[in-house]
Amino acid sequence: MSWDEQQLQTHLQAMAAALDERFADQSPVLVGIESGGAWVAEALNSKLAAPLSLGTLNPAFYRDDFDTRGLKATVTPSKLPFEIDGKHIVLVDDVLMTGRTIRAAMNELFDFGRPASITLVVLFDIGHRELPIRADICGETLALPPHQRVELRGPAPLVAEIRDTRPEE
């Protein structure tokens, strides 16, 4: 299964409408989780009634599996060009699976300050939860077996496909 740019744009438009409705009286800030979440946040921001301040977060050092996963060769620093204290944060990721990346991202956000609220927005929720974390706004919910993942490619065009993570025989 795969999603082309038009299908993802349809999801993003619906997600933007939900955000516009939810924050009609407030001015939140968008924070995309590197890298797929940052791509989604940027695309989502272009569909909002009024674009929001946009930042990126790289929670690599905050992961609880850091010692087993290690770091990617290119870890980029978080870029939050605004204050976190008292702000309504819209935290954006591409795929919600176990919840561990979101937990790590929230831990890092709190190192920058104390937000008024955090709203989680994801393009895909594939289940497999290990932590009690859920998306407030989701483009599409999928029920995938444990050996499948959604892989987002971008930033432009954004496309996605399901890939099998089982080792080849």
Whether the pLDDT of residue 143 is over 70: the answer is yes
| Dihedral pair phi/psi, residue 85, rounded to 5° | -55, 125
pLDDT at 167: 78
| Dihedral pair phi/psi, residue 77, rounded to 5° | -75, 155
pLDDT, tens only, 45-54: 999 999 999 9
Confidence of residue 166 (pLDDT cuts 50, 70, 90): confident
Lay out the sheet containing 29-33: strands in order across. Answer: 54-57, 29-33, 88-96, 117-125, 137-141
Report the length, in residues, of the chain.
Answer: 169
pLDDT, tens only, 30-88: 999 998 999 999 999 999 999 999 999 999 878 676 555 555 556 788 999 999 999 99
For residues 95-109, b (16+ Cβ closer than 10 Å) or e, as one string? bbbebbbbbbbbebb
pLDDT at 65: 62
Pairing of strands 88-96, 117-125: parallel
pTM of the model: 0.93
Q: Domains of the chain (ranges plus CATH)?
A: 2-16+28-60+84-164 (3.40.50.2020)
